[in-house]
């Protein structure tokens, strides 16, 4: 199932397929957020934003708006 990182539930995982947004931040890619890598949602901050993900061994916090531009193939357990 195709979704975005913003729609993950806590503990859910997905594999990054693409970044449709042309201006996707390079820094995020450098931190391991690359197509083919797995994203896992670890924690959601109070008030639902930002979200805390584990991607390519990096534990990072990003805002929901940015997470929406990360397109994933959901891994069903």
Partner 1 sequence: MATNEIKVALLGNPNTGKTSVFNALTGLNQKVGNYPGITVEKKIGFCKLSNGITAKILDLPGTYSLNTTSLDESIAVEILLNKKGEYFPDVAIVVAEVENLKRNLLLFSQIKDLGIPTVLVINMADRMQKNGISLDVESLSKELGTKVILSSVRNNSGISEIKQSIEDIDAISTDSFLDITEVSPEYFERLKKLFPQEDPYKLWLVTTQDVNFTEIDKNQQAQVNDITTTVDLRRYQHKETVLRYKKINASLKKAYLKDPTKATSLKAKIDSVLTHKVWGYLIFFAILFLIFQVIYDWSNYPMDLIDGFFASASNWVSKTLPSGMFTNLIAEGILAGIGGIVIFIPQIAFLFLFISILEESGYMSRVVFLMDKLMRPFGLSGKSVVPLMSGTACAIPAIMASRTIENWKERLITILVIPFTTCSARLPVYLIIISIVIPEGSFMFISYQAFTLMALYILGFGVSILSAWILHKILKIKTKSFFVMEMPGYKMPQAKNVGITVLEKTKSFVFGAGKIILAISVILWFLGSYGLSEDFKNAEKNVDEKIASDGFSDFNKTFISSNIQNYELSLRDSVSAKIYHINNQDIQDSLAIKRNDLIAVAKEDELAGYKLEHSFMGQMGKAFEPLVKPLGYDWKIGIAVLASFAAREVFVGTLATIYSVGSGGEEEETIKERLAAEVHPSTQKPVFNFASGISILLFYAFAMQCMSTLAIVKRETNTWKWPMLQLAIMTGFAYLVALIAYQFLK
The site for partner 1 (CB under 8 A) is made up of 22-32, 34-35, 42-43, 45-50, 52, 56-63, 66
Q: Report the residue number, 12 or 56, with the smaller CB distance to partner 1.
A: 56
Smallest distance, partner 1 to C-beta of residue 33, A: 9
CA–CA dist 63, 25 (Å, integer): 13
Around 76, how many Cα atoms within 13 Å sit in the side-chain half-sphere? Answer: 2
Around 65, how many Cα atoms within 13 Å sit in the side-chain half-sphere? Answer: 1
Q: Report the residue number, 4 or 24, with the smaller CB distance to partner 1.
A: 24
């Amino acid at each position: 199932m195709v979704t975005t990182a913003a729609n993950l539930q806590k503990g859910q995982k997905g594999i990054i397929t693409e970044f449709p947004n042309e201006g996707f931040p390079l820094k995020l890619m450098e931190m391991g957020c690359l197509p083919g890598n797995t994203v896992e949602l670890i924690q959601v901050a109070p008030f639902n934003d930002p979200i805390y993900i584990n991607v390519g061994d990096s534990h990072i916090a990003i805002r929901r708006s940015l997470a929406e531009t990360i397109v994933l193939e959901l891994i069903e357990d």
